[in-house]
Structure 1
Amino acid sequence: MISPWKKLAISTKELLADEGFLKSIHLVENLVSKILSLALVGVILVSLVDLIIFLYQDLFREPIGFFNKTLIEIFGMFLNILIALELLENITAYLRKHVVQVELVIVTALIAVARKLIIFDFSKATGIDLIGLATASFALSISYWLIRQMNRKHREDRR
C-alpha cells in the first residue's frame, strides 16, 4: 500500500513533468480567459445601460432634438462599447483556437486610436500629442496592412 505522502510526491512529479505542467498551464489559461470573458460581458452590459440612460436624458428631458452633451461624447461612448466588443472577440477567438490573432488585436488598437482621434480636444492638445497620435495611427495602419498581406498570401499558398 502506497502512503498518502508518496502519492502526493508522485502526483507532484507528474504535474511538474513537461507534459503535465503544460496541461496545467493550458487549464489556467482557459480559466482566466473565461473569467475575463464574463467580466467583459458585464462591463459591456453596464456600458450599454449607461449609454441608453445618457441618450434618454439628452433626448427626452431637454428640448427634443438638441443634445446638451456634444455628439463627440456620445460617439466616444459608442466606440467604447465597440472596443469592448472587439476585446471580447479577441478573447473568444483565443478560446476557440488557443492562438492570439494578431490581426484582431491590431484592429482593436486601430479602433481605440480612432476613438481617441474622434474625442480628441484640439484646444488642449500639444504638438507632441498630435505627433504621437499620428505615429500610432500610421504604425498600426502599416501593421494591419502587413498582416493582411501575409494572411492573404498564406491563404493563397494553402489553395
Structure 2
Amino acid sequence: MKKLFRQIIAATKDENFMHFIENIEVLVSKVLSILMVLVILVAIADLAAFLIKELFDVPYGKFNTTLFKIFGLFLNILIALEILENITAYLRKHVFQVELVIVTSLIAIARKIIILDLEKVSGIDIIGLGVAVLALSISYLIIRSSNK
C-alpha cells in the first residue's frame, strides 16, 4: 500500500511538472504571436514607405525596375502571416501542423525564386531550388492525402 501511495504522489509531481511545462509553452507561444504581429506591422509599414517612395520619387516610371523587390516585400509579409498561423494553430491544438510548415516553406522558396537575380546565381543554385520545390511539393501531397 505504501508503494502505491508513493507512486501516486510521484505521478502527481510529474503531472504538475508537465502542466508547468505546458504553461511555459503557451506563454512562449503567446509572446511569439505578439512579436510576430509586431514584425508584420513593421513589414507593412516598410512596404508602404517603399511603395510611396517609388511612386512619387523622381524619376517617375522606374517602378518596373523595382517590381521584384515589391513582390519580395509582399511575400515576406505572407511568410510572416503563415508563421503567425503556425503559432496560433499551436496555441489552439498544442501540436505543430506539418502542412502549414510545408506551405510556409513553399512560399519562402517561391519568394526566393521570384526575387532571384539570374545573373548572380549559378546553375547548381537553381537546381537546388528546383529540388527543394519538388521535395516540398511531394511532402505536401503526402501530408494532404494522409489527412483525408
TM-score by length of 2: 0.88
Task: Select 2:22's aligned residue among 14, 23, 26.
Answer: 26
> Which structure 1 residue ranges, 4+ long, deviate > 2 Å from structure 2?
13-17, 61-66
In the alignment, structure 1 residue 102 sits paired with structure 2 residue 98: yes
Q: 1:20 to 1:70 in 2, by over 3 A?
A: same
Q: Which residue of the partner structure matches residue 85 of structure 2?
A: 89
In the alignment, structure 1 residue 130 sits paired with structure 2 residue 126: yes
Q: How many residues align?
A: 140
By relative contact order (CA 8 Å, sep 6+), the higher-ranking structure is 2
Aligned AA (2:97): Q
Q: Which residue of the partner structure matches residue 3 of structure 2?
A: none
Equivalent positions of 1:41-52 (< 5 A) are: 41-52=37-48
In the alignment, structure 1 residue 111 sits paired with structure 2 residue 107: yes
State the identity %.
61
Larger mean CA deviation between 120-129 and 73-82 belongs to: 120-129
Stretches of structure 1 lacking an aligned partner (at least 5 in a row): 1-12, 153-159
For residues 82-109 of structure 1, give each alpha carbon's deviation from its aligned partner in whole angstroms, at most 9, with x where no partner exists. 0000000000010011110111110000
Stretches of structure 2 lacking an aligned partner (at least 5 in a row): 1-8
Task: Select 1:74's aligned residue among 63, 70, 74.
Answer: 70
Q: 1:138 to 1:68 in 2, by over 3 A?
A: closer
Task: Select 1:60's aligned residue among 43, 56, 61.
Answer: 56
Q: 1:65 to 1:149 in 2, by over 3 A?
A: same
Q: 1:91 to 1:84 in 2, by over 3 A?
A: same
CA distance in 1, matches of 2:40, 2:78: 9
